[in-house]
Amino acid sequence: MNDRRLTRRHVLAGGVVGMASLIAPREAVTAHEPAAASGAGTLTLGGDLVVNRMGFGAMRLTGPGIWGEPKDGAEARRVLRRAVELGVDFIDTADAYGPEVSERLIAEALHPYPHGLVIATKGGLVRPGPSEWVPDGRPAHLREACEASLKRLKLARIDLYQFHRIDPKVPVEDSIGELGRLRQEGKIRHVGVSNFNVEELTRARRVVPIVSVQNRYNVADRSSAEVLTVCEREHLAFIPWAPIARGSADALEKADANKALETLAQVHGVSVFQAAIAWLLAKSPAMLPIPGTSSVAHLEEDVAAARIKLSAGELAAVG
């Protein structure tokens, strides 16, 4: 097997299991044959924003530890431009990434934005220093954060503004209520939430329409499965962060699903990263993966996963 197709497999530990009889070898999908993001199909946000289900997460365009400037600013801008060339029309970011760096890079690379490009950002976390993430759900802070994001992104309205994380010191109704007011003022088109459980999501939806939930979800961590079920039933987008379980090798070593995933990758002639993204796309029509990278080569590899079509047997083998 071509080692190039497994260059990022170190984050997904585990061996091969005997599921090859369930699936037939397919044509390899490599970084040299990037597929358009449209191959993943589409999803509608809030009833009026149709986007390809292969998005891009802009968190890793910043410096080490999601802090400061990227090591290669020119490459970061190339990644953003290449994502759009490949048909990505949903880019996820946050004011906390950098902080502020990710949003600024997006504007520098892509403004004026092409028609149909959705820039989704988040507020509600502050960064006192590297590796520090502190919730701040005060209405005044969220208003200030949203207005600052509008300026950095050079937007008159943010298509999707997501509440990054609940602040235990502030009732969720107060935080979400402020986003509702910003929506009424025309500064936000749609409201989303991140890192919410079902009960919290229910409370938020009583205050303002919610169109998306962004939670951790991957082959090794399905703790948000109940939230995903709600999203499917209520026609909300589910945006999985950490879609390829970065940093979760210990858990993956014990996951039978991961072993099946690696076998799936070998049969299709792709990396386990690509197989993981394909699994997410096949898992639910509500899923909107946002794999992130600071490398054009890895971006092309990720987007190429939109071409991988899993059978019912393959999906069942991974679980």
Q: Which residues are annotated as catalytic?
A: 97
Nearest-angstrom CA–CA distance, 63 and 71: 6
Which residues lie closer than 8 Å to 179 by C-beta, 6 or more apart? 142, 146, 161, 163, 188, 191, 208
Nearest-angstrom CA–CA distance, 106 and 163: 20
The strands making up 118-123's β-sheet, listed across from edge to edge, are 56-57, 90-92, 118-123, 158-163, 188-194, 210-216, 237-241
Burial of 246 from C-beta contacts in 10 A (0-12 / 13-18 / 19+): middle
Nearest-angstrom CA–CA distance, 153 and 110: 10
**Residue 176, token pair as written in the block:** 């979400």
